[in-house]
């Protein structure tokens, strides 16, 4: 199972990192970690020829076969592309981190463990064919990204950003799980491939649209779509290698992958087309507009990421229109899906390089505040060159790859107005208008990022460190990505044939059965008749004017009321929820153990008694009962007298002795009923318990505030009623269960198999060790953990006393 092993390989290596980190401290841990993504990217590259030929590959590792849940690694054009991005960009990020993170100052063991877990989680997401295993890896990305974003956990903003990202993405993940379960129910399978095969029939089911919306909530939260994008800017508190990895090629792309993978299932619904396209266009505009407001380099890139993710999302939505048309229109709208995959690749290259350059600027100047930066071009010429290439590609300027996919995007939104789908023909004109305006702001923030940082007046007095060029090791990774930005522009069709066409074939299986049939070519020049050309020229002209006049129109951001921002709403909701939870919990969290028992016992009486009453399940039958012997009556009287003594006595010593009498009396019952093992266990437990009580008797505190009301009649009456209710309820349930046996007792199975199957003669021991082996193991584990906790508390207390004595001696 090489594909399944490849998914878990980073996690396996992560288990070794803590030991390796301690043993080999002279070498940067990143050099050992780098081997993992390099091996994986080479491994996945071997599948490129067969995937280009239309072949798919699958490995299965059973997980819960009885429920149809397995780890199914499925490689087609789409999952292979994402796997290569995850491992390829991952290798460059690890290389970059070796020079960015100081092995003497940083906890590298933790960092690389988190990074490798995240890498495995992302590989699992993009390769899983089973819905449940996909959800498992999906939530693992949320947990591991939480650890990565909060890596500098001593910083308040890091902890806040990590918690915010996990809260939002986990919420979306839970919604997505609901959608998956609905799909599994209506499709009678958890296999994505099998669901795609029956997609046309699923579209007519009652819960289909609900599943669609729930799955999109998961995708939108993970890919930072409006209004869920607010977690992404705060996630910039993570180390720059984390930002470069999570927000250029992996975590935020998981939502895009989900939309692409489920397009063959949900695209038959018009709701899918409108939601994916509309939310994507709105996110594109929102992110591009607010990027210019930011003053932190990584914040600018965060909002630009939101904007670019919206662009790709809208293209996927436009591409799904292909499921609603026939003939040449299928090719027209599949073109949008082609453009989406192309821009996804381009975004990974230029955004990854820009994040790394932002980290370099911070690393070499001590600040990311763009107001303090400027004039770095002569001091950091290589960094400036890389930043210029990445920024111009993001702006959609030739000769860089972003220009090609941006032109394809403009053509795609223009095509929408020619298609009538629930008033799309009339409302479709808004999409190219909004797309053009957003592209103008994209041009502005791209120039704003690079020119305000590297051009203008140098301000050495405002920099914490003297600016200088980064070491060559730190420039290798962004340099490789910047080179790809240029190379892809000149050989786009090689990328198209090798990676994009197989991915499009996976998204549009009804339109194209094999990758070779996806007949698109990428061109840098479409002639003077191209409307996209004139839109691009307008973007450059208007964008340049807006860039030069930023000081004149930027005060518009100050006029927007901050109290109505999404961030403020999130924080208000968080405070409201936390405050309400605290107020509610203060009502029942009194610190009194008696109160907690009252809650639990009352719940037992109400829930069990109510259920039995509503189901008319109370039945009393005296048939087949064994005769009651004199000794049993005598022991019962002793048991009752001992129990009552505990309740009425005012002496703790008497209560302890009576409690022991109750336990020993129960042990006598076990002996009478021929259960010597249980009797022996009961005797040992009671002996130890009584001894412990007596040993601690001297140290018992005086009557506390919860015990002062013991003499109150209302207090004692409440105890009596609750105890009586629980006793009566348990007794009635026991009698009813004995009186009406709906299914045969499992005891006969144990009697028949305890010797033949388990090889034991003592039925109780065999049940505990074999039939309930895991249960017993977990009980032992709980006791072990509790024992370790007690030892830890005792050790700390002894250490504290020893420390106090030393202070007194001084």
Average pLDDT (292-318) is: 95
356 and 499 inside one domain: yes
What is the per-residue pLDDT across 435-457, written as a single tens digit (0 to 9) for each?
999 999 999 999 999 999 999 89
> Is the predicted pLDDT of residue 703 greater than 70, yes or no?
no
Match 């400027």 to its residue by tokens.
374
627 and 706 inside one domain: yes
> Is the predicted pLDDT of residue 651 greater than 90, yes or no?
no
401 and 521 inside one domain: yes
**Is 228 inside a domain boundary?**
no
**Is 138 inside a domain boundary?**
no
> Is the predicted pLDDT of residue 517 greater than 80, yes or no?
no
Average pLDDT (632-653) is: 86
Average pLDDT (358-366) is: 94
**Is 644 inside a domain boundary?**
yes
516 and 391 inside one domain: yes
533 and 618 inside one domain: no
pLDDT of residue 400: 96
376 and 506 inside one domain: yes
422: left (phi over 0), alpha (psi -120 to 50) or beta: left
State the DSSP string of 198-233: THHHHTTSTTHHHHHHHHHHHHHHHTT-TTGGGHHH
327: left (phi over 0), alpha (psi -120 to 50) or beta: left
Structure tokens, 697: 């008797």
> Is the predicted pLDDT of residue 707 greater than 60, yes or no?
no
Scanning 589-648, the segments in alpha helix (DSSP H) are 593-603, 609-614, 630-648
> Is the predicted pLDDT of residue 810 greater than 60, yes or no?
no
Average pLDDT (298-327) is: 93
Taking the C-alpha atoms of residue 231 and residue 148, their distance in angstroms, rounded to an integer, is: 14
534 and 665 inside one domain: no
Long-range interactions of 673-680: CB distance < 8 A, separation 24+? 675/764, 677/762, 677/764, 677/765, 678/764
> Is the predicted pLDDT of residue 422 greater than 70, yes or no?
no
Q: How sure is the predictor about 807, in pLDDT bands with cuts at 50, 70 and 90?
A: low
pLDDT of residue 804: 64
Positive or negative: CA dihedral 352, 356, 361, 366 = positive
Domain end marker among 512, 527, 548 = 548
**Is 784 inside a domain boundary?**
no
pLDDT of residue 515: 43
344 and 487 inside one domain: yes
Report which of 56, 104, 61, 95 is spatially closest to residue 76, judged by C-alpha positions. 56
Q: Element (H or E) spanning 326, and its range?
A: none
> Is the predicted pLDDT of residue 764 greater than 70, yes or no?
yes
The most distant pair of C-alpha atoms in the chain lies apart, rounded to whole Å, by 109
Mean pLDDT over the full length of the chain: 88
**Is 41 inside a domain boundary?**
no
Taking the C-alpha atoms of residue 348 and residue 325, their distance in angstroms, rounded to an integer, is: 31
Secondary structure of residue 69 in the 3-state scheme: strand
532 touches 432 (CB < 8 A): no
Instruction: Specify the CATH number for the domain of residue 649.
Output: 1.20.120
* Residue 722 structural domain: 593-768
340 and 477 inside one domain: yes
610 and 525 inside one domain: no
**Is 780 inside a domain boundary?**
no
**Is 704 inside a domain boundary?**
yes
> Is the predicted pLDDT of residue 513 greater than 50, yes or no?
no
Q: How sure is the predictor about 417, in pLDDT bands with cuts at 50, 70 and 90?
A: confident
Taking the C-alpha atoms of residue 315 and residue 273, their distance in angstroms, rounded to an integer, is: 10
Higher pLDDT, 519 or 331: 331
Q: How sure is the predictor about 719, in pLDDT bands with cuts at 50, 70 and 90?
A: confident
160 touches 151 (CB < 8 A): no
Taking the C-alpha atoms of residue 227 and residue 302, their distance in angstroms, rounded to an integer, is: 15
Taking the C-alpha atoms of residue 228 and residue 306, their distance in angstroms, rounded to an integer, is: 10
CA atoms within 13 A on the CB side of 357: 32
> Is the predicted pLDDT of residue 705 greater than 60, yes or no?
no
Integer CA distances (angstroms), 709 to 334, 657, 712, 717, 743, in order: 77, 23, 5, 12, 48
pLDDT of residue 702: 57
Q: How sure is the predictor about 249, in pLDDT bands with cuts at 50, 70 and 90?
A: confident
Average pLDDT (152-175) is: 93
Q: How far apart are the first and last CA of the chain?
A: 66
Average pLDDT (526-532) is: 85
Lowest mean pLDDT among 129-133, 463-467, 715-719, 806-810: 806-810
Say what percent of the chain tops pLDDT 70.
Answer: 94
> Is the predicted pLDDT of residue 305 greater than 90, yes or no?
yes
Scanning 522-625, the segments in alpha helix (DSSP H) are 531-548, 550-553, 566-588, 593-603, 609-614
Secondary structure of residue 400 in the 3-state scheme: coil
Distance of CA 88 to the CA centre of its chain: 22
Taking the CA atoms of residue 372, residue 377, residue 382 and residue 387 in that order, the dihedral angle to the nearest 10 degrees is: 60
Average pLDDT (277-298) is: 95
Average pLDDT (765-794) is: 87
> Is the predicted pLDDT of residue 353 greater than 90, yes or no?
yes
**Is 20 inside a domain boundary?**
no
Average pLDDT (580-593) is: 83
> Is the predicted pLDDT of residue 704 greater than 60, yes or no?
no
Match 């499009």 to its residue by tokens.
504
Higher pLDDT, 567 or 76: 76
Average pLDDT (264-288) is: 94
pLDDT of residue 420: 67
State the DSSP string of 487-519: HHHHSHHHHIIIIIHHHHHHH-TTT-SSGGG--
- Number of independent structural domains in the chain: 2
Domain end marker among 520, 548, 576 = 548
Lowest mean pLDDT among 35-49, 52-66, 494-508, 757-771: 757-771
463 and 609 inside one domain: no
317 and 457 inside one domain: yes
Distance of CA 688 to the CA centre of its chain: 46
What is the total residue count of the chain? 810
Taking the C-alpha atoms of residue 792 and residue 786, their distance in angstroms, rounded to an integer, is: 10
> Is the predicted pLDDT of residue 9 greater than 50, yes or no?
yes
Evaluate the omega torsion of the peptide bond into residue 227 and state whether it is cis, within 30 degrees of 0: yes
What is the per-residue pLDDT across 184-193, written as a single tens digit (0 to 9) for each?
999 999 999 9
């Amino acid at each position: 199972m090489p594909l399944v092993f490849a998914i878990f390989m980073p996690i396996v290596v992560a288990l070794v990192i803590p030991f390796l980190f301690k043993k080999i401290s002279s070498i940067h841990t990143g050099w050992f970690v780098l081997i993992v993504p390099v091996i994986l990217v080479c491994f996945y590259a071997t599948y490129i020829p067969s995937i280009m030929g239309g072949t798919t590959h699958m490995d299965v590792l059973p997980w819960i076969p009885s429920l149809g849940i397995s780890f199914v690694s499925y490689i087609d054009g789409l999952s292979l592309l994402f796997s290569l991005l995850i491992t390829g960009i991952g290798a460059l990020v690890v290389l970059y981190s070796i020079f960015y993170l100081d092995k003497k100052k940083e906890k590298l063991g933790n960092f690389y463990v988190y990074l490798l877990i995240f890498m495995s989680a992302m590989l699992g997401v993009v390769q899983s064919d089973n819905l449940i295993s996909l959800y498992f890896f999906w939530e693992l990305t949320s947990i591991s990204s939480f650890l990565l974003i909060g890596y500098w956990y001593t910083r308040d903003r890091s902890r806040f950003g990590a918690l915010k990202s996990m809260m939002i993405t986990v919420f979306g993940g839970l919604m997505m799980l609901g959608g998956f379960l609905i799909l599994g129910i209506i499709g009678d399978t958890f296999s994505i491939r099998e669901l795609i095969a029956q997609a046309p029939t699923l579209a007519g089911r009652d819960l289909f649209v609900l599943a669609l919306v729930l799955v999109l909530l998961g995708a939108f939260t993970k890919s930072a779509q409006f209004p869920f994008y607010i977690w992404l800017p705060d996630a910039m508190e993570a180390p720059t290698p984390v930002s470069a990895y999570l927000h250029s090629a992996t975590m935020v792309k998981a939502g895009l992958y989900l939309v692409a993978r489920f397009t063959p299932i949900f695209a038959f619904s018009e709701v899918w087309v409108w939601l994916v396209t509309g939310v994507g266009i709105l996110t594109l505009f929102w992110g591009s507009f607010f990027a210019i407001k930011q003053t932190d380099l990584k914040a600018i890139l965060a909002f630009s990421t939101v904007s670019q993710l919206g662009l790709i999302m809208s293209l996927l939505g436009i591409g799904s229109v292909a499921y609603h048309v026939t003939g040449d229109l299928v090719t027209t709208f599949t073109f949008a899906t082609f453009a989406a995959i192309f821009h996804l690749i381009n975004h990974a290259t230029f955004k990854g390089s820009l994040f790394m350059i932002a980290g370099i600027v911070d690393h070499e100047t001590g600040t990311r505040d763009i107001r303090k930066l400027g004039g770095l071009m002569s001091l950091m010429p290589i960094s400036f060159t890389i930043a210029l290439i990445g920024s111009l590609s993001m702006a959609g300027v030739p000769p860089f790859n972003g220009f090609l996919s941006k032109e394809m995007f403009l053509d795609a939104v223009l095509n929408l107005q020619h298609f009538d789908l629930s008033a799309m023909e009339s409302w479709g004109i808004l999409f190219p208008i909004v797309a053009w305006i957003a592209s103008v702001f994209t041009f502005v923030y791209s120039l704003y990022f690079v020119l305000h940082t590297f051009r203008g007046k140098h301000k050495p007095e405002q920099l914490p460190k003297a600016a200088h060029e980064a070491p060559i090791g730190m420039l290798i990774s962004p340099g490789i990505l910047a080179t790809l930005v240029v190379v892809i522009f000149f050989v786009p069709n090689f990328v198209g044939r090798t990676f994009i066409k197989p991915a499009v074939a996976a998204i549009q299986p009804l339109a194209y059965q094999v990758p070779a049939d996806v007949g698109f070519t990428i061109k840098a020049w479409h002639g003077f008749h191209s409307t996209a050309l004139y839109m691009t020229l307008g973007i450059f002209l208007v964008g340049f004017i807006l860039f030069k006049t930023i000081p004149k129109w930027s005060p518009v951001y100050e006029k927007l009321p901050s109290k109505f921002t999404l961030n403020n709403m999130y924080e208000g909701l968080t405070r409201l929820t936390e405050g309400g939870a605290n107020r509610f919990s203060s009502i029942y969290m009194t610190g009194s153990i008696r109160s907690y028992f009252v809650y639990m016992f009352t719940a037992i009486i109400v829930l069990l008694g109510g259920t039995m009453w509503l189901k008319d399940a109370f039945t009393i039958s005296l048939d087949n009962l064994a005769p009651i012997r004199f000794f049993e009556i005598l022991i019962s009287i002793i048991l009752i007298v001992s129990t009552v003594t505990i309740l009425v006595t005012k002496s703790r010593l008497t209560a302890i002795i009576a409690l022991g009498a109750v336990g020993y009396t129960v042990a006598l019952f076990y002996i009478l009923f021929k259960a010597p093992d249980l009797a022996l266990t009961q005797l040992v437990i009671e002996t130890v318990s009584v001894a412990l009580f007596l040993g601690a008797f001297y140290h018992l505190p005086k009557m506390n505030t919860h015990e002062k009301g013991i003499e109150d009649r209302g207090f004692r009456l409440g105890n009596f009623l609750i105890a009586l209710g629980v006793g009566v309820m348990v007794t009635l349930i026991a009698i009813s269960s004995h009186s009406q046996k709906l299914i045969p007792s499992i005891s006969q199975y144990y009697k028949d198999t305890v010797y033949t199957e388990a090889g034991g003669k003592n039925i109780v021991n065999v049940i505990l060790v074999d039939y309930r082996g895991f249960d017993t193991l977990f009980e032992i584990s709980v006791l072990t953990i509790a024992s370790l906790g007690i030892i830890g508390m005792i050790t700390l207390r002894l250490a504290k006393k020893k420390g106090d004595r030393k202070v007194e001696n001084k």
